[in-house]
Amino acid sequence: MEYNLACNDFIEDGRYIWFTSYSNNGLYKMDMVTKQVECVCIFPGEPLERMFLFNGMADTGRYLLFAPCSGENIAIYDKSSNRIHTIEIKKKSNNRKEEYLSFYKFCDIKIYEEYAYFIGKYYPAIIRVNLKNFSVQYIEDWVDEIEKRIDR
């Protein structure tokens, strides 16, 4: 039996193509030689069916990181232990000049040294995660200054 499975984002690591589903909760990997696809895990704390749970992935070698788009948590998958760690992100109010759209929170992840930076699309902060101990820092001192420049 064949199933259609669309991916939202993907990363190649030389052996596998890792990807998240476009329309439901799941981390998948496809063997680049055999073309076999396996569901690796379901992301805890996320609904089973929702579009664009994650948008933006990064690979550190050991970890796969996932930036929540419509999802509620940052997800970090440990390829060596096959475990997933989640970090709940703070809920943000919608009383800003630029409307906060909670269904499109983040759009990218950048890795620098031992930190992952989750870059917001509509989320009014950059989140820095220490990849050694998973401590979190919200970088948001710039948001008010930017908002002052929005002409509305």
Return the higher-pLDDT residue of 33 and 149: 33
Cβ pair 92, 105 in contact under 8 A:
no
Place of tokens 């997933």: 84
Q: Is the pLDDT of residue 148 over 80?
A: no
pLDDT score recorded for residue 77: 97
Tokens of 72: 């509620």
Cβ pair 56, 108 in contact under 8 A:
yes
Q: Is the pLDDT of residue 96 over 60?
A: no
pLDDT score recorded for residue 8: 79
Q: Is the pLDDT of residue 63 over 90?
A: yes
Q: Is the pLDDT of residue 151 over 70?
A: no
How big is the CA angle at 91 (ends 125 and 46), to the nearest 5 degrees?
110
pLDDT score recorded for residue 120: 87
Averaged over 124-132, what is the pLDDT?
94
Tally of CA atoms within 13 A in the half-sphere of 26 that contains its CB: 15
pTM, rounded to two decimals: 0.87
What pLDDT band is residue 49 in, cutting at 50, 70 and 90?
confident
**Which amino acid type is present at position 37?**
V
Tokens of 28: 């998948």
Q: Is the pLDDT of residue 131 over 60?
A: yes
Cβ pair 49, 23 in contact under 8 A:
yes
What is the maximum alpha-carbon separation in the chain? 56
